[in-house]
């Protein structure tokens, strides 16, 4: 049903992505590709894979940006994937019900068996979360690893999205935003996690943590000369040392 769930989902699962520690290594993007091409969205094709116009379906992309030099200037790496919006337009525009938001946990999925490949959902998503598999004729997107997070064939500690497990800088966190004690809720509160393009009113679930203000050390002053600088070379070495 592409109507959004009438009641708010019991759980609001999503990701927190930390732009303060993301170094742009693409671990999340490739582990996602790897998991999903053999998983829920098997396959995620790559056309012309060894040629000029290589074009693959990915569910998570990591961009690199530079910000305004006048305001300090940074290099920022930005992983982009589905934000599992509360008011997901990609769900309501779908004519077949293939694109739907789960009532249990708010995850937005594409049902591969009924998608007709009209692409309207990808037009509706301002975040570019959906990529079309031209070969298969259906739309694909982040599943929040629906096939991992409840998977009883995995140990509990592994029941996380692949991207979260893979990230070497702990820049990705997974959890229930309805639970104030969850890591995602606490990080959002402590670090001021933001929505992307809030002006569109889509109420994205995922939050991005802005870079922390830089750590400092000391008071920024230059060092003073060692005491007794006028009393001879290295006069400040004035005690007996021992070995």
Partner 1 sequence: MTIVDEGAAQDAGRVDLSPTVSDEVKFTTCYMCACRCGIKVHLRDGELRYIEGNRNHPVNRGVLCAKGSAGIMQHHSPARLSQPLLRVGERGSGEFKAIGWDEAMDLATSWLDPIRKEDPRKLAFFTGRDQSQALTGWWASQFGTPNHAAHGGFCSVNMAAAGLYSIGGSFWEFGEPDWDHCRYFMMFGVAEDHDSNPIKTGLANLKERGAKYVAVNPVRTGYAAIADEWLAVTPGSDGLLVLALVHELLRAGKVDLDYLARYTNAPWLVIEDPGADDDGLFARDGDGHPLCWDSSQNAAVNAMDSGISPSLKDRVTLPDGRAAVPVFHLLAERYLDGQYGPDAVADQTGISAATIRRIAGELAHAAFAEEVVLDVPWTDWAGRRHEQMIGRPVAIHAMRGISAHANGFQTCRALHLLQMLLGSIDVPGGFRFKAPFPKPAPPGLRPAGKPGDVVPGQPLGGPPLGFPQGPEDLLVEANGAPCRIDHAFSWEAPMSAHGMMHTVIANAWRGDPYPIDTLFMYMANMAWNSSMNTTDAMTMLTDKDPDSGEYKIPHIIYSDAFFSETVAYADLILPDTTYLERWDCISMLDRPISSADGPADAIRQPVLTPNRDVRPFQDVLLDLGARLGLPGLVDETGAARYPGGYPDYIANHERSPGVGSLAGWRGTDGGSHGKGEANPDQLARYVENECFWRDELAPGQRYFKHANKDYLEYAVKMGFIGAAEPVVLQLYTEALQRFRLAARGVGEQQPPQQHRKRIERFFDPLPIWYPPSAVDGTAAEDYPLHAISQRPAAMYHSWGSQNAWLRQIHTANRLYISERVAREQDIEDDGWAYLESRHGRIKAQVRVMAGVNDHTVWTWNAIGKRSGAWNLAADAPEAEKGFLLNHLIEDLLPPNQHGERLANADPITGQAAWFDLRVRITKAPVGVKASEPAFTALPLPPGLAPRPAILRYGARFASKKSKGGNT
Partner 2 sequence: MQPAYSVIFLTTATGAGYGLLALLGILRAMGGLPDDRAFGLFGLGLAMALISAGLLASAAHLGRPERAWRAFSQWRSSWLSREGVLAVVGYGPAALFAFAWLVLQRNDGLWPLAGLAATVLSIATVYSTAMIYRSLAAIPRWHHPLVTPVYLVLALATGALWLNVVLIPFVDGHALSQAICLAAVAAAWLLKIAYWRAIDGATGQSSAATAIGLGHLGSVRPLDPHHVRDNYLLKEMGFAIARKHAARLRRLTHLTAFLVPLVLVLLQTVTSGPLSLAAASLAAVSVSFGVVIERWLFFAEAQHKVMLYYGAETI
Q: Is 118 in the site for partner 1 (CB under 8 A)?
A: no
Q: Is 227 in the site for partner 2 (CB under 8 A)?
A: no
Q: Pick from 85, 109, 121, 202 the residue near partner 1 by CB under 8 A.
A: 109
Tokens 């104030």, residue located: 180
Give the interface segment with partner 2, choosing from 35-43, 85-93, 161-169, 220-228 (CB under 8 A).
Answer: 85-93
Task: Compose the 90-129 pattern: x for residues touching partner 2 by CB under 8 A, - for all others.
Answer: -xxxxxxxx---------------xxxxxxx-xxxxxxx-
Question: What are 100's strand-pairing partners?
Answer: 109
Shorter beta-carbon distance to partner 1: residue 87 or 111: 111
Which of positions 61-80 make contact with partner 2 (CB under 8 A)? 61-68, 70-72, 74-76, 78, 80
Q: Pick from 8, 54, 183, 189 the residue near partner 1 by CB under 8 A.
A: 54
Among partner 2, partner 1, none, what does residue 181 contact (CB within 5–8 Å per kind)? Answer: none
Contacts (Cβ under 8 Å, ≥6 apart) of 60: 28, 29, 32, 33, 79, 80, 81, 142, 163
Rg (CA), the chain: 24
SS3 18: strand
Tell me which residue of 86, 112, 111, 50 sits closest to 198, measured CA to CA: 86
Q: Residue 225 is encoded by which pair of tokens?
A: 């000369």
SS3 207: strand
Q: How far is CA 128 from CA 97, 122, 196, in A?
A: 20, 7, 12
Give the interface segment with partner 2, choosing from 5-13, 33-41, 135-143, 226-234 (CB under 8 A).
Answer: 135-143
Report the nearest approach of partner 2 to the CB of residue 226 (Å).
Answer: 41
Task: Compose the 160-179 pattern: x for residues touching partner 1 by CB under 8 A, - for all others.
Answer: --x--xxxxxxx--------
Give the interface segment with partner 1, choosing from 52-60, 81-89, 121-129, 178-186 (CB under 8 A).
Answer: 52-60
End-to-end CA distance of the chain: 78
Q: Is 35 in the site for partner 2 (CB under 8 A)?
A: no
Question: What are 172's strand-pairing partners?
Answer: 17
């Amino acid at each position: 049903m592409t109507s959004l769930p009438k009641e708010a989902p019991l759980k609001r699962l999503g990701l927190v992505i930390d732009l303060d520690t993301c170094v742009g290594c693409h671990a999340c993007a490739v582990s996602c590709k790897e998991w999903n091409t053999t998983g829920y969205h098997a396959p995620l094709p790559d056309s012309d894979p060894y040629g000029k116009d290589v074009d693959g379906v990915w569910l998570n992309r990591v961009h690199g940006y530079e910000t305004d030099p006048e305001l300090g200037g940074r290099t920022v790496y930005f992983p982009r994937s589905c934000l599992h919006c509360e008011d997901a337009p990609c769900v309501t525009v779908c004519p077949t019900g293939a694109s739907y938001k789960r009532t249990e946990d708010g995850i937005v999925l594409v049902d591969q068996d009924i998608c007709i490949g009209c692409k309207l959902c990808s037009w509706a998503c301002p975040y570019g979360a959906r990529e079309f598999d031209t070969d298969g004729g259906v739309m694909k997107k982040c599943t929040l690893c629906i096939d991992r997070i409840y998977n009883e064939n995995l140990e509990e500690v592994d029941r996380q999205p692949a991207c979260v497990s893979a990230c070497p800088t702990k820049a990705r966190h997974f959890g229930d935003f309805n639970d104030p004690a969850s890591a995602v809720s606490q990080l959002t509160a402590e670090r001021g996690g933001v929505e992307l393009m809030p002006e569109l009113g889509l109420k994205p679930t995922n939050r991005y943590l802005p870079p922390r203000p830089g750590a400092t050390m000391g008071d920024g002053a230059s060092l003073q000369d060692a005491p007794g600088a006028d009393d001879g070379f290295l006069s400040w070495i004035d005690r007996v040392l021992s070995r």
